[in-house]
Amino acid sequence: MRRLSLPILFALAMSVAAFLPDASAQVKETDLSKIVKALPSEAPAKPKKARNVLVYSKTAGFRHSSIPVGVRAITLLGDKTGAFTVTATEDESALEPEMLAKFDAVFMLNTTENCFRPKTGTKEEQDKREEELKKSLVDFVSGGKGLIGVHAATDTYKSWKEYNQMMGGAFVSHPWHQKVPVKNLDPKNPVNAAFGGKDFEIADEIYMFRDDTALPTDRRFLLTLDTSKMSKMDADKGKRKDGTYPISWVSTYGKGRTFYCSLGHREEIYWNPAILKHYLAGIQYALGDLEVDATPLKPTGGEK
């Protein structure tokens, strides 16, 4: 497994700017330095083969300012640890079946709304193209590949049932944008190893998901908002019927594997060492390199 020194990695970060989407080239040198310093030194699992990840960050609605930082962080995460190589794009043609065949996983990084839909052509042509690309992703994941999402990946195609099932949740609102307590629901899970078996606090925009999605019976929750440690006023901001506000999970779809974490609104999330380790483990699970039990946990009520 290759490892790069900090000076070499920083130089690489600067040199690859021309090959990434325009938005990702706008990362400040100070932010790049923070990312490089926060990167883990190695991956939790040895890749079974060279892995290629498509990072897709096209938006058709709200666009997060953290997208350039996120693209660069995930790219460098793979480079530093040797766990995977990133191709970053906002061109929907990358989702064509023959293009996807080159990848082991698709990473939806703060995508929003109908981001597979082309911007040109007649409505009929756009509809046809969009449906073809949607089917391509479903076939890709169900056939045994991986799907990863952070933050607004669940604010994407909320009326597309198969996507909701793959990604796991459909965004409704973000009642909290503050420092919040997070409960580590699965301390022994390899994807949660970064947290040392402990709960923690973090400042970010926390999502609430539609009641018919993000269900503990459908997927294995890893992290949730711990409303028991919040003031009543803050806890009552959540309106979900089951009172549960998951933050991270793993699951399966057909023969494929999926990982999602809602943390990723703010730029500093992408230079948080523990979150980068969490992302890395989740990515390696989705790639099929890290063995993880994705069986849904029995609800304990402890997260409420």
Q: Give me the pLDDT at residue 26, please.
A: 80
CB-side neighbour CA atoms (13 Å) of 245? 29
Task: Give one DSSP letter per residue of 125-186, joined into a string.
Answer: HHHHHHHHHHHHHHHHHHTT-EEEEEGGGGSS-TT-HHHHHHH---EEEEEEEEEEEEEES-
CB of 90 closer than 8 Å to CB of 63: no
How far apart are alpha carbons 227 and 66 in whole angstroms? 27
**Residues of the chain falling short of pLDDT 50:** 1-24, 301-304
Nearest to 96, CA basis, from 53, 139, 126, 34:
139
pLDDT at 299: 62
- Does this model's pTM top 0.75? My answer is yes
pLDDT attached to residue 298: 76
C-alpha distances in Å from residue 213, one per residue of 25, 95, 209, 265, 269: 35, 25, 7, 20, 25
pLDDT of residue 263: 98
CATH architecture of the domain covering 6-287: 3-Layer(aba) Sandwich (3.40)
Dist CA 165 CA 210 (whole Å)? 12
**Could you tell me how many residues make up the chain?**
304
Distance of CA 220 to the CA centre of its chain: 15
Per-residue pLDDT tens for 43-97? Answer: 999 999 999 999 999 999 999 999 999 999 999 999 999 999 999 999 999 999 9
Q: Are strands 85-89 and 256-261 parallel, antiparallel or unpaired?
A: unpaired
pLDDT digits (tens, 9 = 90+) for 169-191: 999 999 999 999 999 999 999 99
27-32 own/partner pairs: CB under 8 Å, 24+ apart: 27/68, 27/69, 27/72, 31/69, 31/267, 31/271, 32/72
Residue 304: CB partners within 8 Å, gap ≥ 6?
227, 228, 243, 244
**Cα–Cα dist 48/229, whole Å:** 41
**Tokens 């060279």, residue located:** 50
What are the percentages of helix, strand and coil residues in the chain, rounded to 5?
40, 20, 40
What is residue 66's predicted lDDT score, i.e. its pLDDT? Answer: 96
